[in-house]
Amino acid sequence: MPWARAPSWDMPDVGVGLWTMRSTAARPIHAAAAYSELARDALHAEALGFHSLWLAEHHFWYDGWCPAPVAAAAAVLSPTSTLKAGTGVHLLPLWDPSTAAAAAETLVALAGERLYLGVGLGYRDEEFDGFGLSRRTRGRRMDAALDEIAVRWNQEGRGPRVLVGGFSAAAMTRAGTRGLGIFLPFSLTRVKLATTIGRYREAAHEAGQTPGMVGMLKYAWVTDGSSRQREAAERLIAASALEYSGCWFELNGRSGFAEPELLARQLSLATANALIGTPGDIAEEIAQLDDAGVDLVVLQVTRDDVSADHLHTMEAIAGALFPSPPALST
DSSP 97-133: HHHHHHHHHHHHHHH-S-EEEEEE----HHHHHHTT-
Residue 311's Cβ-count burial label (10 Å; 0-12, 13-18, 19+) is middle
Q: Are strands 254-255 and 250-251 parallel, antiparallel or unpaired?
A: antiparallel
Q: What is the pLDDT of residue 324?
A: 61
Q: What is the pLDDT of residue 328?
A: 47
8 CB neighbour count, 10 Å cutoff: 9
Residue ranges, the chain, pLDDT below 70: 1-10, 155, 305-308, 324-330
Rounded Cα distance between 116 and 170, Å, is: 21
The secondary structure of residue 276, as a DSSP letter, is: E
Q: What is the pLDDT of residue 307?
A: 63
Could you tell me the CA-to-CA distances from 283 to 105, 286, 326 in Å, in that order?
34, 5, 14
Please, what is the end-to-end C-alpha distance for the chain in angstroms?
A: 31
Residue 59's Cβ-count burial label (10 Å; 0-12, 13-18, 19+) is middle
Domain residue extents for the chain: 13-219+277-321
Determine the CATH number of domain 13-219+277-321: 3.20.20.30
Q: What is the pLDDT of residues 56-108, one digit of tens each?
A: 999 998 899 999 999 999 999 999 999 999 999 999 999 999 999 999 999 99
To the question of pTM greater than 0.85 for the whole model, the response is yes
Rounded Cα distance between 296 and 301, Å, is: 15
Q: Which residues contact 139 (CB under 8 A, 6 or more apart)?
A: 93, 121, 170
